[in-house]
Amino acid sequence: MSELELHTWATWAELAFALFTVISVFVISAPYGRHMRAGWGTEIGARAGWVLMESPTVLAFLLFYLLGEHRFEAAPLLLLGVWQFHYLRRTFVYPFLLRGQEGKTMPLVIALSGVGFNTLNAYINARWVSHLGDYSDWLTRPWLYLGGLVFLLGWGINVWADRALRRLRAPGERGYTIPRGGLYELISCPNYLGEILEWIGWAIATLSLPGLAFAIYTVANLGPRALSNHRWYRDKFPDYPERRKALIPFVL
Ligand SMILES: NC(=O)c1ccc[n+]([C@@H]2O[C@H](COP(=O)([O-])OP(=O)(O)OC[C@H]3O[C@@H](n4cnc5c(N)ncnc54)[C@H](OP(=O)(O)O)[C@@H]3O)[C@@H](O)[C@H]2O)c1
């Protein structure tokens, strides 16, 4: 089997996993954060779980990227920069900014399944960008810039929304309150909306099946979770704003 065939199989495996994910997370919310519950076996600290789960997005992506023939071309290097811009922060900064994580855990099986998915995703995307895809004239095409803008918009929303959640807790506090202001007046999960926009931006910037597979997976994972978070807010807070939607302003 050629590497291109293997890579195509891996990309379709990710799409199949997206389908499996959307079905399973509709039935059972992934057990971490506010949906954490017992019965999922060995647990590890929540911060350590984040770092472990996200590490392949930085390290495996870089490794696969550096093995590519086009690793020193301008457009692939720019795409590497975009990817690492998001994931260096998510992996090595974000977990240490979180408040109220002292004593909180996540199931090891969730962290390990994150490692598996993130390694597969790093392989299909990095290998495409630096080896199997052709981005030799990409700086003269609109996709990189259009996708880059969508990515930056999503990144701004994601970082703003995650920061707004952190500020709901004083250091050491662990409880939940109703987020207010900005996009939170319209939807319960602007951080997920921002994340989804980022990877739609990536799909546009790379104009590739691996990029599309990751964007679809992100929707499949975070869409149902946004709906469960929204239901959770409504159950927990009787005064939760009536008009607020879950993920897409005025729609869903
Ligand atoms: N690409 C993907 O498929 C993917 C998958 C998962 C996550 N992510 C990204 O990772 C980030 C975190 O995801 P997440 O699912 O953990 O988000 P989340 O449920 O919104 O929680 C984010 C942080 O804010 C805290 N928090 C949430 N709501 C709060 C409230 N009402 N009051 C006080 N504190 C609150 C949480 O505390 P607790 O931990 O104590 O609940 C957690 O520390 C997001 O930016 C998300 O987009 C991406």
**pLDDT attached to residue 172:** 87
Atom from ligand 1 closest to the CA of residue 179: 31
Q: Ligand 1: which residue has its CA nearest to atom 48?
A: 195
The reported pTM is: 0.98
Can you tell me the mean pLDDT for 94-122? 97
Q: 143-166 vs 190-206: helix axis angle to the nearest 10?
A: 160
**pLDDT attached to residue 9:** 98
Across the chain, what does the average pLDDT equal? 97
4 CA to centre of ligand 1 in angstroms? 36
Tens-digit pLDDT profile for residues 228-244: 999 999 999 999 999 99
Go through the chain and tell me how many residues it has. Answer: 252
Dihedral sign for Cα 22, 27, 31, 32, please.
positive
- The pLDDT > 70 percentage for the chain reads 100
11 φ, ψ to 5°? -70, -40
pLDDT above 90 (res 79): yes
Can you tell me the mean pLDDT for 132-145? 98
Tens-digit pLDDT profile for residues 167-216: 999 998 999 999 999 999 999 999 999 999 999 999 999 999 999 999 99
CA–CA–CA angle 100, 249, 101 (5° rounding): 5
CA 232/CA 36 separation, integer angstroms: 13
β-bridge partners, 43: 107
Tens-digit pLDDT profile for residues 154-166: 999 999 999 999 9
11 CA to centre of ligand 1 in angstroms? 27
**pLDDT attached to residue 65:** 98
Give the alpha-carbon dihedral of 211, 217, 219, 221, to 10 degrees. -150
Can you tell me the mean pLDDT for 10-33? 96
Provide the token pair at 17: 């996993």
Q: Ligand 1: which residue has its CA nearest to atom 43?
A: 98
Question: Are 249 and 188 spatial neighbours (Cβ–Cβ below 8 Å)?
Answer: no
User: For the chain, what is the total number of helices (H) and then of strands (E)?
Assistant: 8, 2
Atom from ligand 1 closest to the CA of residue 194: 47
137 CA to centre of ligand 1 in angstroms? 38
Mutate to test the pocket of ligand 1, among 29, 110, 113, 191 (most ligand atoms within 8 A of CB): 191
Cβ(43) to ligand 1 under 6 A?
Answer: no
Atom from ligand 1 closest to the CA of residue 192: 47
pLDDT above 90 (res 227): yes
pLDDT above 90 (res 152): yes
**pLDDT attached to residue 151:** 98
Is 106 in a helix, a strand, or coil? strand
**pLDDT attached to residue 134:** 98
